[in-house]
Structure 1
């Protein structure tokens, strides 16, 4: 086997297709297929399940993926050490919705200014998906709004976020502003984020601290997309709990009303997620340094 074959295999796994891997590698699809087939012949097993919809890894494929990514990471470190810029690879970052949409763009701008020849791919998913990408080495680093797996990952806070109840900007909700949120929230229609979302997990923990059983709420919709949630709230579908980062523009414009959660607050950390046993590239370390420099972790507490 050789590194070209392993790289083709890894790209097929990441893209879930041979054609997608071919586009990323600037190779023909038959060439990518031949590389993977050669690996399968040499190892004596099937690595990729092929179907008309997508390519998925077999159990043996998942096992090889872990080793292959490590070998490619070593190759990248060698290239970077000796200044082989023509061999630059794409830095893959998996991030849940809030950091992907509201924190990373600023870091990307600084990174682009300092390292204009580097390439970055942001994989927007939920917190559970971001952790999965890091653990399976489909992303070098991740960002989540909650802590899900403390056994295998390192979570490093990079931003202190605040959650608040968000409602339509109507007279009804203005009249509730002076009342304890716990007294009226259980009687309102609720819009929740999807399962696996860091915001949802932190919302449920927050409600329990407020003495509200999440299971007792009248959940009228479960929505994945932040923009859809905001428009649904503005249209009167229900109320929600949301990061202040996500709703800052609408709150300033008066189209949505924010109800802070008082002195105890709905605070949670946005975390950098790392696999401690994974050899990260210098590019990944540079991006991490920029994020820490901008947000400073404890500086936002």
Structure 2
């Protein structure tokens, strides 16, 4: 492709060979190979002069585009070899609280010379920051955006949790009617999956007994431990409390399959080495504790 474009630009095979640091027979052989591939003549040769054919004129913009794409790709590959001095991470509050403290030390082991900056926000804000190049990598709820590369990091099942000694502890299953009568601490993070929790109560004669509403999982969790009520919570938020026996999961068949998905997002072609490392590390520490898969 370069030989073809250079012959046109320089006006002769000899001058194209000099510009490409090749011999004239080598340039000729490359043009002949391209002509065989395309099954047409690209130049009319008249002594030392060459004239581009109509077929060559039609092919020229495509050749130029291929060369440009190749050079951009080459630059991108070499740029990716050099790691950034600082990786800017945008994430939701839950990821900041429960994922980053476990993930970041392992990430630093792989990229020890990189510094990390973490900012938190809701999913829409983080998506905007990645698009605007304000952060390099985002941790968000399950989103698909045409200008971003998105990959699933983990799914976090939503389960009903009670404090130690609650009457429901030890029950094989708890009905929606029983739950609705209990004082509820309702954690709401705005994800679509929470709509499915709301819908479980739609067919009841009376609304659920929601005593407290909060958009902070730590607040909801501590209120349950303090016996203010029971609560639907993502499993990742209660891993430590489950091990300590401070919170007990309750079996509610209607909640099976309801989970919050967290994705990693980057601009296409950027920070792939970090993204792959994050997903690999995530698989290691996202154990089944608390129902996390």
Q: TM-score when scaled to structure 2?
A: 0.59
User: How many residues are aligned here?
Assistant: 211
Distance in 1 between the 2:242 and 2:159 partners? Answer: 11
CA-to-partner distance for each residue in 1:178-230, whole Å, 9 max, x for gaps?
A: 2334232222333233554x4xx42222443x464799434333324332221
- Once the two structures are superposed, the pairs formed by residues 215-254 of structure 1 within 5 Å of their partners are 216-254=207-245
The structure with more radius of gyration: 2
2:238 aligns to what SS in structure 1? helix
Contact 1:207/1:213 (8 A) holds in 2: no
Gaps of 5+ in 2: 1-75
Which residue of the partner structure matches residue 158 of structure 1? Answer: 153
Map of 2:130 onto structure 1: 134
What residue is the counterpart of 1:267 in the other structure? 259
Task: Tell me: CA distance 1:151–1:260, structure 2 relative to 1, closer, same or farther (3 Å).
Answer: farther
CA distance 1:227–1:267, change in 2 (3 Å): closer
2:17 paired residue number? none
Q: CA deviation at 1:164?
A: 0.5
What's the counterpart of residue 49 of structure 1?
Answer: none
Residues 294 and 125 of structure 1: CA distance in aligned 2, closer, same or farther (over 3 Å)? same
Residue of structure 2 in register with 1:187 after alignment: 181
User: 1:229-277: CA deviations, max 9, x gaps?
Assistant: 211111122222111111121122121121244483333322113344x
SS across alignment from 1:117:
coil
Cα RMSD, aligned residues only: 3.5
Question: Given that residues 182 and 212 in structure 1 are in contact (C-alpha distance below 8 angstroms), is that contact kept between their aligned partners in structure 2?
Answer: no
Q: Secondary structure at the match of 2:99?
A: helix
Match of 1:95 in 2: 91
Q: 2:276: which partner in 1?
A: 289
Match of 1:105 among 101, 105, 120: 101
CA contact (8 A) 2:201 2:208 kept: no
Structure 1 gap ranges (5+): 1-76
